[in-house]
Structure 1
Amino acid sequence: MGVDHQIAFFLRESAAPEPERRVAALKGLGRRGGAEHAPVLTGAAADPEPSVRAAAARALGRLGVPEAGREVLPSLMGDADPGVRSRACVAATRLGLDDPPVVEAFAGLLSDPDRHVRIVALEALAALGVPGDATALTALLGDPDPSVWGRARTLLYVCKDDEAVRTEVIRTAREGAGAARARALEELPRQCTERLVDALLDGLRDPHPRVRLQAARRLLRVEQPQVQDRLAEALRTERDPEAAAVLLRGLGDRADGRLCDAAVPWLRDPVAGPPAARLLGVLGTDAAATHLRTALADRTVPGRARAACATEIGAGGRWDAVWLLLPLLDDPDDDLRAGVLDGLEHLVENGLRLWERHPVARALAAHLATDPRHVWRTRNALWGLTQALPAVRRLADTTDSGEVRAAALSLLDGDDATDEHARQDVRRFLRFLGDPHEPVRYEAVLGLRRWVDANGSWPPGPEHHRDRLTALAGDPSPRLRAAATDLLAASGPGRSGPG
């Protein structure tokens, strides 16, 4: 059947008594017809069947005749049927209609009861780059559907320089309710905080936890003493874990003993527990330290909170810190072990007591070989602990784990030509240039670089080691190529070669 015959068939069918036949005919005209058939489609816009009206809207969008679209699409966008409204929005967008009646119709659909229609209207307004109705658009920040409020937030950002939009967002931040107010506060630029202090202080008592959270985030940047006092008061009365976590993190740098009692109840919470532990660690009082030790010993406290307590106990460095942490190195909770290792790292970095060094060195060196989840955390805790070096060297020579071997090599200095242990470390670096594991080869190259930088020459050894290094300069690993190339340059002309 030729196109002319198809068109003639569609025109006859567009007047068929069955709605299904009229729908099929209108779709066909939209695909095959021309501008001269637009009147048939605009006439179908008044059909009593919603499916036919929706098909007419869709066909007008496909036909590509803007004048016909302007004639009927705004009224279809106000149709009683949501499917018709949605199709009309899509058609108007496809035709690029941007005249005031169409924009007004889009704006009216921002409050549509059908979520799909709201989404289509938002996408259409975004394509035009206009807010439509600033009040209705801002109200959508409180929509329960993320697909709606997320698009509304994006459009508000696109239109942020529109005076009506700015005014409405500020009004919602001051006076709005629930999620809309919370998201309006989130969207406001930082420079708006000072002019909103009174409203934000009121927001600390808002019944919606997200409003309290956003109000706290903004007020924590305000240095006024009375504002900080109100935030401390808000922490004492807060019951939402996320809002409490924001307050605990923000107030955690204040050595205010009055915060201790407000922080302690949150130690048992998986969300607010870690910042509560950090705040107690900053306070550093005997009472705070006691609460940290109690929470660390309580196995009913969530692992992340106990981990934060362990880290703060290590950072505090009290007399019993080492003996509290070492027994927990083998705890089955991954989070807790991570916190214990971080706490031990603080202790090593700040300087262990003489009688603590060997027990810590033995425990950490053994842990390096047995905790694959936290190899590099354990390595960080070992950094600078010379008492662990003999065990670390044995581990580098005997472990089957490439990651553990790499971590062990990273702890070896190899930079003192007068030290036999350092010369042995250099021989390890040379030997492991051919290791099958990329992290091991990389750490071996870095170890050799430490030797070259300290001694001004390539370490003594067979010539084939330099050939192996030259080959590593072409390794698939970018970081290994860069490290090998730098080492070749550092030990190149003007330096002593391998002897």
Structure 2
Amino acid sequence: MGADHQIAFFLRESAAPDPARRAAALKGLGRTGRAEHAPVLAAAADDPAPSVRAAAALGLGRLGDPEAGGEVLPLLMSDEDPGVRSRAAVAATRLGLRGPAVTRAFARLLSDPDRPVRINALEGLAALGAPGDAAALVGLLGDPDSRVWGRARSLIHQCAADEAVRAEVIRTARQGTGTARARALDRLPARCTEHLLDSLLTGLHDPSPAVRIAVARRLFHVEQRQVQDRLAAALRNERDPEVAARLLRGLGERGDERVTEPAVRWLRDPVAGPSAAGALGGVDTDTAAARLRTALDDETLPTPTRAACATAIGAGGRWDAVWFLLPLLDDPDDDLRAGALDGLDACVENGLRLWERHPVAWALAAHLEIDAKHIWRTRNALSGLAQALPAVRRLADHTRSGEVRAAALSLLDADDPTDEQARRDVRRFLRGLDDPDEAVRYQAVHGLARWVEATGALPPGDEEARARLTALTADASSRVSRAAAGLLEALDAGPAPDPP
């Protein structure tokens, strides 16, 4: 059947007594018809069947006649049926309709009870670059569906220069309710905090946990003593674990000693417990340190909380921290070992005492090979621990695990051409270029890059190494191929000139 025959068939069917036949005909007319058939689609906007009106909207969008669509689609966007409203909004966006009537129609749909209609309205307004109704738009920040409030947030950002939108965001941040107020607060820059201070302090007692969290997040950066007093009081009275967790983290980061008693109270809560442990770690007092050690030994506490205690003990760096943490490397619980490793990482980063260095180095190097769950966490704890390098080199040469070999290679600096060990490490990198394990090849390329950055050239055997790197630019692993290509580019660019 040719196009003209199809069109003739659809035109006849558009007057059929069965609504399903009329709807199918209008959809077909939109696909195959021409601008001259737009009046047939427009006339169907008055059809008593919602399915036919929706098909008319769809057909107008497909037909591509903005003039015909501009008259009918804004009306259909106010149809009593949500399916019709949704189709009309999509068609109006597809046709690129503009003008006050279209904007007003989209603006009305921002408050539509049907979720797909709200989404289509937001997409239509985004295409227009217009907020529609500022109050309705900002109110959608509180929509329970992320597809709605996410699009609303994007449109608010797009229309940030609109005075009505700015004013409504500020009003909602001051006086709004629930999630909409919380997200409005998150949208405002830090410089607005001072102007919002009274409403923020009141917001510490807002019935919405989301608002209390958003308010606290801003107030932690205010240095006024009265503000910090109000935060401490809010923590003492807080009953929601998620809000308490945020208050504990913020006050703990400030080292506020008033966090100690509430933190101890929240340790048993599965949500706030880890934050309570971290807060105690941020308070450098004997009382807080003793509470952490007691909690770490308390097997009735949730394991994530005990793990957080281990990390906090390491971050505190007291004289006995290392000796508390090393035995936990043998614990059967993955989370607790992770906490101990993070704690030891903090100890190493902050600087180990002379008598701690070798025991920690030996324990972590041995752990690198046996704890498959936490290879890279262990690797991070080993970073910068020179006493571990002999054991790390043995692992790079002899371990069967590719991931462990890769982690070991990543710990070798190889950036001093006058150091015999560094030159041997470079040979390890060269061997690693041919390793069957992808992670090893990747770390080998990066190891050579460190050497090239320090020396300006590949090690002896330059041509062989370059040929192997060239081959790796076609490696099946995209990150290996990118790393090899980047190293070759650096070599071709030559060493950076010395600063004047």
TM-score normalized with structure 2 length? 0.84
- Given that 1:402 and 1:440 are in contact with CA atoms closer than 8 Å, whether structure 2 keeps it comes out as no
Q: Post-superposition shift, 1:196?
A: 0.8
Q: Give the drift of 1:205.
A: 0.8
Per-residue deviation, 1:45: 1.7
- Residue by residue over 1:67-90, the C-alpha shift from the partner in whole angstroms, topping out at 9 and shown as x without a partner, is 333333232222211112222222
Q: Which residue is equivalent to 1:320? A: 320
Query: Following TM superposition, by how much is the alpha carbon of 1:22 offset from its aligned partner in structure 2, in angstroms?
Result: 2.1
Q: How does 1:370-449 map to 2 (within 5 A)?
A: 370-382=370-382, 388=388, 391-408=391-408, 423=420, 426-427=423-424, 429-430=426-427, 433-435=430-432, 436=435, 437-438=440-441, 441-442=444-445, 445=448
Task: Find the aligned partners of 1:121 and 1:105 in 2 and give their Cα distance.
Answer: 9
Q: CA deviation at 1:122?
A: 1.5
Residue 301 of structure 2: aligned partner: 301
**Contact 2:458-2:465 within 8 A present in 1 as well:** no
Any gaps of 5 or more consecutive residues in structure 2? Answer: 473-479, 496-500
1:483–1:14: structure 2 CA closer, same or farther, 3 Å change rule? closer
Question: Counterpart in 1 of 2:140?
Answer: 140
Aligned partner of residue 48 in structure 2, secondary structure: coil
Q: Residue 94 in 1 paired to residue 91 in 2? A: no
**1:50-109 CA-partner distances (Å, limit 9, x unpaired):** 222222222222333333333332322222111122222222223322222222222111
* Cα 1:354/1:179, change in 2 over 3 Å: closer
Equivalences for 1:222-261 in 2 at 5 Å?
222-261=222-261
Ranges in structure 1 where 5+ consecutive residues have no aligned partner:
492-499
The corresponding residue for 2:15 is 15
Instruction: Indicate the larger mover: 288-297 or 372-381.
Output: 372-381
Partners of 1:29 and 1:82 in 2: CA distance: 23
The separation in 2 between residues aligned to 1:417 and 1:45, in whole angstroms, is 81
Contact 2:174 2:181 in 1 (8 A): yes
How far apart, in 1, do the equivalents of 2:294 and 2:107 lie?
58
Where 2:234 maps in the other structure, the secondary structure is helix
How far has the Cα of 1:200 moved from its partner? 1.1
One-letter code aligned to 2:310 = A
Change (3 A) 1:358 1:163: closer
**1:228 shift after superposition:** 1.5
SS of the aligned residue for 2:331 comes to coil
Q: Structure 1 residues 104 and 328 mapped into 2: Cα distance closer, same or farther (>3 Å)?
A: same
Residue 474 of structure 1, aligned match among 463, 470, 485:
470
CA distance in 2, matches of 1:482, 1:40: 61
CA contact (8 A) 2:15 2:22 kept: yes
Name the stretch that deviates more: 130-139 or 83-92: 83-92
Which residue is equivalent to 1:130?
130
- Paired position in structure 1 for 2:109: 109
Contact kept? 1:412, 1:447, Cα under 8 Å: no
Alignment match, 1:335: 335
Across the aligned residues of Structure 1 and Structure 2, the Cα RMSD in angstroms comes to 3.5
Between the aligned partners of 1:43 and 1:97, the Cα distance in structure 2 is: 19
Q: Deviations over 1:439-469 (max 9, x none)?
A: 564587489779x97xx9999xxx7x56654
Alpha-carbon contact 2:448-2:458 (below 8 Å) kept: no
Tell me the equivalent position of 1:276: 276
Q: How many residues align?
A: 481
* Residue of structure 2 in register with 1:495 after alignment: none
Superposed CA deviations along residues 409-442 of structure 1, whole A, max 9, x for unmatched, are 6666889999xxx757754653663242425645
Contact 2:446 2:483 in 1 (8 A): no
**Which letter maps to 2:104?**
E
Q: Determine the C-alpha separation between the residues in 1 that align with 2:2 and 2:20.
A: 23
Change (3 A) 1:11 1:315: closer
Deviations along 1:148-204, one digit per CA (max 9) or x if unpaired, are 121111111111211111111211111111111111112222222211111111111
Q: CA deviation at 1:293?
A: 0.7
Q: Deviations over 1:118-175 (max 9, x none)?
A: 1111111111111111111122112222221211111111112111111112111111
Equivalent-residue separation in structure 2 for 1:37 and 1:480 (angstroms): 60
For 1:69 and 1:252, the matched residues in 2 are separated by 60
